Structure 1
Amino acid sequence: MGHDIYGQNKAGEAIAYIRFTMRDSCAYTFYHLLDATDCYAGVSGSGDSKTLSLPQMEKALEAKNELFNEDFSKQPKDDFLVWQQKEIQKFITSCLETAQKEGSVKVLFS
């Protein structure tokens, strides 16, 4: 079990992917960043998807920036935490870029 989360463009192509283990406390935080806590099913995603608009993705990036310091050199020396925060940044950035081009991005939570 775990959280496999995919970002898709309008053509249905995967443009982003992130995975959290079923006990990763950061998983719920990630759902919250995307305003998708209704897709959180505890040990995994609910299987639902959301189409997020450009303003929603911009808000997710702002919330991520408030939560995590963008200067990873100042982060705790926990290598996993630093890696995970970079993965969250990549996911949100990829989805934001797609939303900028297409007006929205679809995110699947499984």
Structure 2
Amino acid sequence: MTDFATVAARCGYVTYYPHAARHVGVKAAVLAACIIEWQQHAGDLGAELSVEKIESITALTYEEQRAARRVLRAANVLVETARRLEHKTFYRIDIKAFALLAQGSVT
């Protein structure tokens, strides 16, 4: 019998915020949870995540990521910083705005 820790280590898993999903949709809430997790270990600009990395964590395709980012930007919770010369994009969730959104204080 395989225990949860073994399955999680082999397959990976991501948690998300169901209350936020009610306002931005499940895919955007999953992307936000991924960014929040990674930005805790990043600098002020946020987490540097590639499309491939996000897909490996969340299973969201490039188009699904684009749509989710659009929704999160429209909700004023996602801050994107592009370093085009370095070919890097940094993502950061405004935690205060996200908390208000998850509580239903913002639409």
Same fold (TM over 0.5): no
Larger radius of gyration: 2
Q: TM-score, normalised by structure 1?
A: 0.31
| Bigger RCO (CA 8 Å, 6+ sep) | 1
Normalised TM-score (structure 2)? 0.32
Report the structure, 1 or 2, having the larger helix content. Answer: 2
